[in-house]
Structure 1
Amino acid sequence: MGPGDGPGPADSRGPQLTAFTERLAFDLDPFQSRACVALESGHGVLVCAPTGAGKTIVGEFAVHLALAAGTKCFYTTPIKALSNQKYTDLVAVHGADSVGLLTGDVAINAGAPVVVMTTEVVRNMIYAGSPALDGLSYVVMDEVHFLADRFRGAVWEEVILHLDPAVRVVSLSATVSNAEEFGDWIKTVRGDTTVIVDDHRPVPLSQHVLVGNRMFDLYDRSTQGAARKGAREVNTDLKRYIKHRMLTAPDRFVPDRVSDSRSRGRGRGHRGGGGSRTSRPDVVASLDRDGLLPAIMFIFSRKGCDGALAQCQRSRLSLLEPHEAARVDEIVDRHLSDIAPADAEVLGVEQWRAGLRRGFAAHHAGLLPTFRHAVEELFAAGLVKVVFATETLALGINMPARSVVLERLVKYNGEAHVDLTPGEFTQLTGRAGRRGIDVEGHAIVLWTPEVVPEQLAGLAGARTFPLRSSFAPEYNMAINLLGRMGLDGARELLHRSFAQFQADRSVVGQARKVDQARIRLRKTDAQLAELAAARGVDAPDTEDTDDRSANGFLAYIDLREDIRRRERDLKFHRRVENTRSIVEDLGALKKGHVIGLHGRRHRGLAVVLEPAAHGVDPKPLVLVEDAWCGRVDQRDFVNPPQVLGTMRLPRHPDRSTGRGRRDLASALRATGIEMPRGRGNKRAPAADDAELIRLRTELRAHPAHRLDPGDQLFRLAEQRNRLLREIVTAEREIASRTSTLGVTFGRIVDVLGELGYLTRTGDTVEVEHAGRLLGRIYSESDLLVTECLRAGVWEGLSHSDLAAVVSAMVYESRRDSASGVDSVPGNPRLRTALTETVQVWQQLNEMERRHRVPTTREPDTGFSVAVSLWSSGRSLTESLAAAGLAGQLLSPGDFVRWNRQVIDLLEQIRISVGPDAPLATTAARAVGSIRRGVVAAELG
């Protein structure tokens, strides 16, 4: 057990913990016991432990304590899937009357003493002053490390900061390296909190690499013992085998994916290998042969997961016995009971069932929720042996496996493909090893040439994944803070955030650096003064650096610095001008021009086969005299390309064959054009610069110029300049870190004031009616939604048209750009409303840019037609087809997910505008029309 504080272990347990453990089929681990003892003693707790260690037991004990005391407990999670699962688990223990569920668009028994909910729901309750908070004694924050999420993480901090001090917060986190820092912050803002850190995995984890059909341990067995845990070495057999395979068959491996070999006829237990690539069915068969099933194979794309499932379905691989397949049918039939027969075909029910009957399935956000729930139940029952999943499955959902397979160590983060972090690697592989079933878990990485064993070992062995706050002020947050606690109180709360806590700690370190640098600076100044006097030059005036003697030694040092700075500036400007000239001359090259290449990649004469296309980075196609053919750009030139001559070329020169390229190269050499020597004119940029000439003249005339440049006086002066730069840099860092939150908040307040959401008189702020409306809209586009409501842009719309325009506030295309109004066909009233909405957005963006705050994202109409049809009563097939025609290839799971987000925002609008408003009636009708069929079938 790692560090912690607070009450002692199990021997001090109270009567409630004793009663709680009596119904468990296992003994508590020390960290669980210690956390539970702390809870019963009246402390809050922060528990940081590895995935699968059993942290949720502590949360379940908080539920037990609340029920025993006749109070309430909220159990919060970051995602609806985890909320659904936790709701099911708690109902099984405490009964449906005692447990409720709130996930924005789903409300079940909301008045129960125990309510499971997503974290946003409890945040919204706090801001609304909901009576549901009365009698609340515990809030469990499962997966609390999610506060690092850059999109939604601020919600966790808001809840922790706003909850009544009497509420005990039970924070459950995966292992993070700065758990003590996080715990210190929670103690600061929540009071008495016991921090418990446990690094022990109840089921040990072994690391492997699968190369072709051969499985290797990542580490040498001799270095895997606890005594040498910190000095584990990469398996030499693994390195040797990879080197051998790369030398003997380098073309056998594809670095970016595991392929579909489409190798039919390979039954269960086939060893794979022998082919040019490793197929997913071969990987599964290899795992089955080695007794490593059930397994989760993480593939970081929905398309990849579906493709892996299709490959297994095309193979003859089957992992279930007939009686197991029959049990699968029973469970699947139960989950499909709410699916209309007319929707079965478009949902691919039979194909999905066929995979389940053979023991494999996909799991990702694009699947229908009913499908995902069935997969989770079947996997937990041992009836699904392999799940191809995206990383969403790693976030708390209880689907432990004997082994976890990572197909790649790179994932798409929404903006770019990036390497997995040590924390992500640990979270994913933590699913391996079923407690009470497996002796050890297995983490397996599929080898491709991009996988370097030493780097993988560093990733697997890393223990540094700190928790960083993502807290930042936003419109809804700002208006609610101001309404509840005024301007001073809002600023004080921002100062108490974990983001500011981390910044302040960093500032403490920076301030210490400044103090130490100033001490060293004073010593250096004293040494400088002494040495300068001994050398017969004016003593340096260190007290007033802006009014130094022209003959002083520091003035001489300043001259040297000015000269260096001027030389750097001139060099930079020459490089910029040179690059601009290269780009211009490349763009001006014509077919047949002969130029010289002096670059690192290619050298020699080259003839232009195709001029460059117009653009900021022109790349003409050239052929070099060594017969290489390709496009060159500015990186291939030190100086602008010089046209050395011209060469007659055929209308369509043959560059696609080796013989054609060789003939062209021979003709180029036969032109007699010679390659110029060197790289062209290298005129010194400083040769005729008047300012540099003046500075150098003053330097030579200075009395200190007679000193030996190697004199210790100069070394001390250089040291002094380094200290000054260090101080300036640290002070700039301090200023930026301590003011970021406050500056952003101030700018947001200015925007809200200009728009009339609040009135400010000095340090007094009054929230207006429009501000109270904004305070009830919890959306990424909260201010845009509220502005449209104020402007009446959506008044008079039909319920289906209102659903369509509201969808543009929540929907995000899985493409680089949002769909515009032009993508919405027909219906003039809807198009007018969407056009006016975009106009409001444009005006808002102009104001946001003027105030230098993050801009609200553009409305995206990519889902508008689909939700409008569905709201009008059209079929799932028609609605999905409409999305396809709009350029949005939606899966059924996406369709359901976006519809539920539309419902959530419609409900917010209905509540915000008041029950008597016509728009509230329209919103309620829109909600009812959307919540049907597959959209309504949440829990399966």
Structure 2
Amino acid sequence: MQENSSPAQAYAAFRARQAEGSTVLHRFRDDLPYPLDDFQIRACRALEEGRSVLVAAPTGAGKTTVAQFGVELAVARDVRVFYTTPIKALSNQKYQELVDAHGADRVGLLTGDASINRDAQIVVMTTEVLRNMIYSGTGLDDLGYVVLDEVHYLGDRFRGPVWEEVIIHLPAHVLLVSLSATVSNAEEFGAWLAEVRGHTDVIVSEHRPVPLYNHVAVGTDILPLFTPTGHDVNRDLQAAVRRYRGSGSRRDKRRHSAPRFTRPARSATIRSLARSGLLPAIYFIFSRNACDDAVEHCLASGLDLTDEASKRVIREELDDLHDELPDADLSILGFHNFAAGLLGGFGAHHAGLIPQFKELVERLYAAGHIKVVFATETLALGINMPARSVVLEKLSKFNGETHVQITPGEYTQLTGRAGRRGIDVEGHAVTIWHPSIDPSDIAALASKRTYALKSQFTPTYNMAANLLARLTTDDARKVLETSFAQYQADTSVVGLAKKARRADAALEKYHAAMQCDHGDFAEYFGLRRTIAAMEKSAGKSRARLKQRELLEAMSKLRFGDVVLLPSRRSFGACTVIAPLRTEEGGDTRLPSVLTSTGKVWHLRPHEVTEPPVHLGHIKPGKKFNHRVVAERRRVVETVAAGIESGAINDPADVGHAVKVRADTVGREQIEAVRAQLRAHPCHACPDRETHARWAERAVKLEREQQSVMAQITGRTESIAHVFDRVCNVLTTLKFLPDDSHILRRIYGERDLLTALSVRAGLWDELDEPECAALASMLVYQARRETIGAPRLPSAKLSRCFDELRSTWRMLSQMETDARLPVTPEPEAGIARAMYNWANGKDLAHSIGRSEVAAGDFVRWARQTLDLLGQVEQVAIGRTAAVIRRAAESLRRGVVLD
């Protein structure tokens, strides 16, 4: 109590403490082993007072505590709570945590291929499962709270739209606990949530409880990235890097060459981390194969990071896992290397591993028994793997099409794993230096701690079918217009509209300034612009004609022709050693020539501005090899002898080449417009050029204005326009209104193609393994492009695949015409493997010689199971029974969760 407080104030404070003592929050705080931070208290109070919350805070700041309180509130108020996560691995982890806290009878798990206690009060699930439940209208009774963990995943290109569907369609009384990494537009996202869901408190904390320090490993030396003030790049680091880059001119570098840089072995880096007290560590490598290679390398180097006590625990876990797996599968799973790595204190974690391997790595790492995990970026998605330090081997990754630099947001997400609250006083991020990396690039990534959340929402066929099953078209459009994508588009339109209004005001002034007493200056300036456009067009025509004539002249050159290149007269008499050719992909390569000094020159377009002059011809010989000096010398001597004898024209006697003829197309039309210009009254105005400058400004501004208006038109109701195009495709294919019941139960990127396959009866004549194989074709997507179709295990399945591809070609053409994203083509890359597995074969026999990793096979098998479950709901009679048995045949061994 404050010394100067009045009795009334003291009494009020007492009543407030008494009231808080009876709240759920008070009991929750008493049970925690640590005090709550201010942002956690504000979020929990908002929830207790009946408001949704958006909590944006750094990784490791304690956002999960708010979610735990949401669960406590649900239990206290006897309502259901759903805890959603973006990935199944995180769902499994949260399920176990909640079981430990509330008991197995109170907690359920739904992940598409796993269903445990689905009617429990607390259910953990992936966001896709919740979306499906909303559309089917099941399981939402008594639902009071939904936790949206990692809600910033809403910005993911492929899966982000599911978050928006959930937020838009959940019943209005359900409170949301949205947990996000720090995003720079949290207020914008929160404002949208408030508009869609009602009262929502936006709580942003940028404080990181465990401070993060950035380092760079140059060789095996680990140096701070920044100076002690934290703003400038460390000079010692710059000096260490400079050693390998040299300095001064090229001549200096040749004289004093910099020592050659060799990237340190991963085991050497890990030993450096151990010496510096920076273990345990997560070592991010953006390649599955490289993660496995790292384990192999560390085994070969004899790296050992575990004591006998940890080895004993690891052996017990490995024995249990060994007993779970069939002996025939141990080899193809790489069990022995996996086990040896764990006993040495290190392991890999990526999507190519079977779930049982990944879960064991997670358990052992969390318990402190292994010290290093080589991981791909998927590990950064909230799985609780406590690390003192994070290592980034590269700052670029393959995005499926090309190698790209990681973004500041990705850097933040990856390095956010470093620093264990309550264990470490600080976390550390270590980037492995390479000459291709500049320390300033690392500093730029590390300095930008936030990134903007951008919606990826777009209407899908399944979404349209489900909306129109319960809403009119107009009402469905209104629902879609409440999306975050449309909110962001509309917000940007506000700024564009302001820009357009400013442009309107400026245009009025410009038009006033270009007024001319002699006549209509806008008309006069229009003639000037017409002439400029016609001359530009004529110039392009002349350039095209010149280019065509040059290519035609070049295409006539043959092996052994001797020519003079007017634009390269210093080359002298050149011999053609490779004629013009068109390469695969359509690119044209100009001829290669041997100059009079014996130098091979591959001609480039900018070097050939005039047609070559033909001087003569020699026979270099069929076996001429331009890489052999003696061969080149012989050709040069043959040409010189030919010039001496007169058989070849002397290039010194050849005058300048004849220029490409001028194009006169349109010249008469241009002169006619010039005559109109000279005859116009404004041509005689003494202020003509002043008026013209204002007119030029007006034209430029009008172009900008048109661009702004086009953007406004494109963004206003953009989501609704896409929805209309989606509906048009569905109407054309008679899914609206006739067969929407099929499409409503089928989800995924190939939803409409799958529905078409069901309606066409492709599943009706197949047996169980063939159904499993067909389902795999509708979920599988190869990690890299493959050439040719794989051989399928049955003629019936081959015919089915041919018909499926034919259906896809028809659909993709419709989508192209409708300006919609094209449905991914069906792929049969794992059809044989899925067929074999459904036929009871072991893992080694099923995967066979295919390149698919065991973990990938398990993941695709589970997605195949998910799709079979969807198709079973819309199939009838015998077909539904066969599909059900197909799913049962897949659900065994490593595919079991």
Secondary structure of 1:97 counterpart: helix
Contact 1:638 1:679 in 2 (8 A): no
What is the match of residue 844 of structure 2?
A: 877
1:362-381 equivalences in 2 (<5 Å): 362-381=348-367
Query: Which amino acid counterpart does residue 174 of structure 1 have in structure 2?
Result: A
Distance in 2 separating the partners of 1:61 and 1:584: 77
1:907 aligns with 2:854: no
Change (3 A) 1:305 1:491: same
Secondary structure of 2:123 counterpart: strand
| Pairwise CA distance, 1:322 | 2.8
Secondary structure of 1:810 counterpart: coil
Q: Quick one: which of 538, 541, 544 aligns to 1:570? A: 538
Change (3 A) 1:743 1:318: same
Contact 2:566 2:611 in 1 (8 A): no
Long gaps (5+) in structure 1 = 1-7, 225-231, 252-272, 539-551, 759-766
Distance in 1 separating the partners of 2:639 and 2:104: 85
Query: Which amino acid counterpart does residue 333 of structure 2 have in structure 1?
Result: L
> Deviation string for 1:601-655 (max 9, x for gaps)?
x988754433455342122563554666475554654456665554542433344
What is the match of residue 692 of structure 2?
A: 714
Q: Quick one: which of 697, 708, 732 aligns to 1:754? A: 732
1:115 aligns with 2:115: no
1:352 aligns with 2:323: no
Secondary structure of 1:347 counterpart: coil
Secondary structure of 1:570 counterpart: helix
Long gaps (5+) in structure 2 = 1-15, 251-258, 644-649
Higher CA-based Rg: 2
1:125-274 equivalences in 2 (<5 Å): 125-130=133-138, 132-221=139-228, 223-224=229-230, 232-247=231-246
Change (3 A) 1:617 1:292: same
Q: Quick one: which of 18, 36, 39 aligns to 1:31? A: 39
Change (3 A) 1:897 1:666: farther
1:577-616 equivalences in 2 (<5 Å): 577-579=545-547, 588-594=556-562, 607-615=575-583, 616=586
Distance in 1 separating the partners of 2:554 and 2:98: 69
Change (3 A) 1:395 1:666: farther
What is the match of residue 503 of structure 1?
A: 489
| Pairwise CA distance, 1:841 | 2.0
Query: Which amino acid counterpart does residue 851 of structure 1 have in structure 2?
Result: A
Distance in 1 separating the partners of 2:167 and 2:530: 52
Query: Which amino acid counterpart does residue 651 of structure 1 have in structure 2?
Result: K
Change (3 A) 1:930 1:629: farther
| Pairwise CA distance, 1:65 | 0.9
Contact 1:480 1:775 in 2 (8 A): yes
What is the match of residue 4 of structure 1?
A: none
Q: Quick one: which of 631, 649, 652 aligns to 2:620? A: 649
Query: Which amino acid counterpart does residue 818 of structure 2 have in structure 1?
Result: H
Contact 2:55 2:204 in 1 (8 A): yes
1:690 aligns with 2:657: no
**TM-score, with normalisation over the residues of structure 2?**
0.90
Equivalent pairs: percent with the same residue? 45
Q: Quick one: which of 746, 753, 760 aligns to 1:784? A: 753
Contact 1:9 1:33 in 2 (8 A): no
Q: Quick one: which of 485, 489, 494 aligns to 2:471? A: 485
| Pairwise CA distance, 1:921 | 0.5
What is the match of residue 647 of structure 2?
A: none
Distance in 2 separating the partners of 1:494 and 1:611: 59
Query: Which amino acid counterpart does residue 137 of structure 1 have in structure 2?
Result: G
Distance in 2 separating the partners of 1:628 and 1:278: 41
Structure 1 stretch 273-282 or stretch 855-864: which is displaced more?
A: 273-282
| Pairwise CA distance, 1:712 | 3.2
Q: Quick one: which of 445, 454, 470 aligns to 1:468? A: 454
Change (3 A) 1:589 1:369: farther
Q: Quick one: which of 33, 44, 66 aligns to 1:58? A: 66
| Pairwise CA distance, 1:810 | 0.6
Contact 1:819 1:862 in 2 (8 A): no
Distance in 2 separating the partners of 1:122 and 1:467: 22
Contact 1:32 1:55 in 2 (8 A): yes
> Deviation string for 1:185-228 (max 9, x for gaps)?
1111001000011111111111222122222222222x31xxxx
| Pairwise CA distance, 1:247 | 1.7
Contact 1:305 1:389 in 2 (8 A): yes
Distance in 2 separating the partners of 1:665 and 1:316: 61
What is the match of residue 930 of structure 1?
A: 890
> Deviation string for 1:408-451 (max 9, x for gaps)?
11111112211111111111111111112222211121112221
Query: Which amino acid counterpart does residue 589 of structure 2 have in structure 1?
Result: K
Distance in 1 separating the partners of 2:87 and 2:17: 32
Q: Quick one: which of 810, 823, 837 aligns to 1:856? A: 823
Change (3 A) 1:193 1:459: same
Query: Which amino acid counterpart does residue 933 of structure 1 have in structure 2?
Result: G
Structure 1 stretch 107-116 or stretch 705-714: which is displaced more?
A: 705-714
> Deviation string for 1:507-534 (max 9, x for gaps)?
11111111111111112223333xx23x
Change (3 A) 1:463 1:347: closer
What is the match of residue 104 of structure 1?
A: 112
1:283 aligns with 2:269: yes
> Deviation string for 1:764-787 (max 9, x for gaps)?
xxx33x101110011211111111
Distance in 1 separating the partners of 2:53 and 2:641: 83
Secondary structure of 1:345 counterpart: coil
1:800 aligns with 2:807: no
Query: Which amino acid counterpart does residue 141 of structure 2 have in structure 1?
Result: D
Contact 1:819 1:860 in 2 (8 A): no
1:603-682 equivalences in 2 (<5 Å): 607-615=575-583, 616-619=586-589, 622-623=592-593, 625=595, 629=600, 631-632=602-603, 634=605, 637-638=608-609, 645-656=616-627, 674=651, 681=659
Secondary structure of 1:858 counterpart: coil
Q: Quick one: which of 728, 752, 765 aligns to 2:706? A: 728
What is the match of residue 547 of structure 1?
A: none
Distance in 2 separating the partners of 1:321 and 1:842: 60
| Pairwise CA distance, 1:803 | 0.7
Distance in 1 separating the partners of 2:194 and 2:612: 66
| Pairwise CA distance, 1:172 | 0.8
Q: Quick one: which of 679, 697, 715 aligns to 1:737? A: 715
1:894 aligns with 2:856: yes
Q: Quick one: which of 827, 832, 852 aligns to 1:865? A: 832
Distance in 1 separating the partners of 2:248 and 2:345: 34
> Deviation string for 1:43-80 (max 9, x for gaps)?
10001111221211111111111111111111111111
User: Aligned Cα RMSD in Å?
Assistant: 2.9
What is the match of residue 523 of structure 1?
A: 509
| Pairwise CA distance, 1:337 | 3.7
Structure 1 stretch 693-702 or stretch 588-597: which is displaced more?
A: 588-597
Query: Which amino acid counterpart does residue 76 of structure 1 have in structure 2?
Result: T
Change (3 A) 1:800 1:37: same
Q: How many residue pairs end up in the alignment?
A: 863
What is the match of residue 393 of structure 2?
A: 407
What is the match of residue 71 of structure 1?
A: 79
Query: Which amino acid counterpart does residue 352 of structure 2 have in structure 1?
Result: G
Contact 2:412 2:449 in 1 (8 A): no
